[in-house]
Chains A and B, each alone.
Chain A
Amino acid sequence: MPLLKVVDLKKYFPVQRSFLERLLSRKIDYVKAVDGVSFEAEKGEVFSIAGESGCGKTTTGRLIVRLIDPTGGKIFFNGIDITSLSGEELRKLRKRMQIIFQNPYASLNPRMKIGENVGHPLEIHGIAYGREKEKLVMEMLEKVGLQPASKFYNAYPHELSGGQRQRVAVARAMILKPDFIVADEPISMIDVSLRARILELMIQLKEELDLTYLFITHDLAVAKYISDKIAIMYLGKIVEMGEKEVIFSDPKHPYTNALLSAVPVPDPNVKRKRIMLKGEVPSPINPPSGCRFHTRCPLATDICRREEPKLVKIDDNHFVACHMVK
């Protein structure tokens, strides 16, 4: 049984309209941020969702930890349907499921000391208070490399660098000993020289604490480094999904191919295939008919404009949504 199973997940955000527009028309436009996403993540795995801004990767992550409610679809965690949990049940779930946000300058309470920031979840869930809490927090701070822990315990977030703050966020997510963590672009706002350290820390803690990650990133090089499996999203849909090795060595979807060829490589000796796509990602309010990628796809034919391709299995652990891939 997979630890996480997502079936046909959807999230449509209504587009804000002015008062006048509301008076004059009844029609509401929706941004189809996530539009029918299904995947499974096994225990102990790093499952990455990669794609450009607006593809729905962050929304997918937030839906899974139930920070926002889905428009449709189901989320199963450990076999249990968590799609519509609320109140006490949802709180219990959060003990097992945590999230690390992108921006460590916004995700920590500036008025709380580091120790309180990290220890707060323990109090909320009634696990430890006072001395006991302090001890657990100190241990966790040591674990994420904020040493000496006693010094960091009493510091405020503004006294820390971006990299240190993100470690605090990691410590806060891990303090409840969850099974599953959504990491939403955890290194993209951190200084370049500190990114590798945070990645290594996350890998090390995953082994130590037996975690499963849903890793959300726009950076395919990072995805390649950390993932076991990867799903590529485009305009609210998964276009290709599979084992990391397969996706990077034998990508099938024309979008995956274009995306991979656009990733910069810090080595002037590497000569690569160049696939230059025209234009930019269309609006998710009125996405193109049929295959959403057909407006930019070099292989598009009539069927692509008419029919939406399904995500089909083409090999063990390799799924592609493209009419042109057999």
Chain B
Amino acid sequence: MISDLLRIEGLRVYYYTRDGVVMAVDNVDLFMKKGETIGLVGESGSGKSTLGRAILRLVPPPGRIISGKIVFDGLNLTELSEEEMRKIRGKRISMVFQDPMTSLDPLMKIGDHIVETIMAHETLTREEAEEKAIKLLEQVGIRSERFMDYPHQFSGGMRQRVGIALALALNPDLVIADEPTSSLDVIVQFQILDLMKELKNLYGMGMILITHDISIIPGIADKVALMYAGQLVEFADAKSFFNEPLHPYGKALLESIPNIQHSDQKLKYIPGNPPDLINPPKGCRFSPRCPYATEKCREEEPPTIMVGHHRLVKCFQY
């Protein structure tokens, strides 16, 4: 257990809205080893982004971490002061956002973004930081001539490369990438995922890849963490998950996605709608849409069960 890079236990993050309490992340346990990549998958509103932000303690108000532990390399992040937390953000845990256009300062040159980030955490001279920034940009495929350009002069894919360079600037132990390719076209998505894979091998950091698109997980993630309605319903190594998802939601999800490799695919669909997190269904939250649901599923919340080696599933079937 000491070797875990990140260990989340019983995490609850609620949003206190005018309409009621939204239980966005509700009792989630997650653990990851150093250098591992976890694909955190779920639909919109499943709590995946909230979970990602909670790790950095960046949940926007009216959201709050209610309870639970986030232990990062032996430190319980939920107990740190804001000052101590700031030393961790960017330096040890960094983030890649969906659209870096909204996370980059439009009035600041690309190079300065990176230089500023480096100088905020490390004692380097401006020249040394610039040298490092140029090297970083080259690593993500941006020529050094573009150092003085502004964010609006970059295309979506290039901006995401800058976002990745920024996230890696301080050689973090963990990168949280929140839908990093969702606003990109398929060919650029392919390029960016490839770049992320390459850099991960080079830097050896751990990564949490948050996505609604389960198709991008194979080939990049070691593990899959599947979220539904604020809860982690399955946690497994990627290969086993795609070969045989255990949770009925995972199974149904994979059967509902068109696969370009299939010639005569028959899609199955999931009936009903994702639940309202102010009033989630009683018992298992997937039970109203689950073909295997029994009386018990509708009454009691299923426990999280270990199946085989390190495979977790939240379902009464196991």
Question: Which residues between 214 and 247 of chain B lie within 8 Å of chain A, taking CB atoms?
Answer: 214-219, 238-239, 242-243
Residues of A within 8 A of B289 (CB): 193
Evaluate whether A266 and B190 lie within 8 angstroms (CB atoms) in the complex, with A161-B273, A163-B273, A281-B185 already known: no
Question: B270 contacts A263, CB within 8 Å?
Answer: no
Q: Complex formed: what's the CA distance from A81 to B214 in Å? A: 45
Residues of A within 8 A of B191 (CB): 276-277
Evaluate whether A262 and B189 lie within 8 angstroms (CB atoms) in the complex, with A193-B256, A267-B259 already known: yes
Question: A191 contacts B258, CB within 8 Å?
Answer: no
> Which residue from B186, B187, B188, B218 sits with its C-beta under 8 Å from A267?
B218
Q: Complex formed: what's the CA distance from A260 to B260 in Å? A: 8
Residues of B within 8 A of A219 (CB): 186, 258
Q: Complex formed: what's the CA distance from A219 to B186 in Å? A: 8
User: Interface residues of A: mostly helix, strand, loop or mixed?
Assistant: helix
> Which residue from A52, A163, A164 sits with its C-beta under 8 Å from B187?
A52
Residues of A within 8 A of B218 (CB): 264-268, 270
Q: Within the complex, what minimum Cβ distance (angstroms) separates A147 from chain B?
A: 12
Q: Complex formed: what's the CA distance from A269 to B243 in Å? A: 9
Indicate with 1 or 0, residue by residue over B191-219, a CB within 8 angstroms of chain A CB atoms.
10010000000000000000011111111
**B17 adjacent to chain A (CB < 8 Å):** no
Q: Complex formed: what's the CA distance from A263 to B259 in Å? A: 9
**A259 adjacent to chain B (CB < 8 Å):** yes
Residues of B within 8 A of A266 (CB): 214-215, 217-218, 242, 254, 257, 259
Q: Give the interface size bracket for A toward B.
A: 35 or more
**A248 adjacent to chain B (CB < 8 Å):** yes
- Which chain A residue has the least Cβ–Cβ distance from B41? A192
Q: Complex formed: what's the CA distance from A220 to B166 in Å? A: 32
Tell me the count of chain B residues lying within 8 A, CB to CB, of chain A. Answer: 46
Q: Within the complex, what minimum Cβ distance (angstroms) separates B100 from chain A?
A: 15
Residues of A within 8 A of B253 (CB): 192-193
Residues of A within 8 A of B273 (CB): 161, 163-164, 191, 194
Evaluate whether A267 and B242 lie within 8 angstroms (CB atoms) in the complex, with A193-B256, A193-B274, A218-B185 already known: yes
> Which residue from B158, B187, B269 sits with its C-beta under 8 Å from A277?
B187
Question: A258 contacts B187, CB within 8 Å?
Answer: yes
Residues of A within 8 A of B267 (CB): 196, 199-200, 225
Question: B261 contacts A265, CB within 8 Å?
Answer: yes
Question: B258 contacts A222, CB within 8 Å?
Answer: yes
> Which residue from A193, A224, A249, A269 sits with its C-beta under 8 Å from B258?
A224
Question: Which residues between 39 and 56 of chain B lie within 8 Å of chain A, taking CB atoms?
Answer: 43-45
The chain A residues found within 8 Å of chain B, CB to CB, are: 52-53, 161, 163-164, 191-197, 199-200, 218-222, 224-225, 245, 248-249, 258-270, 272, 276-277, 280-281
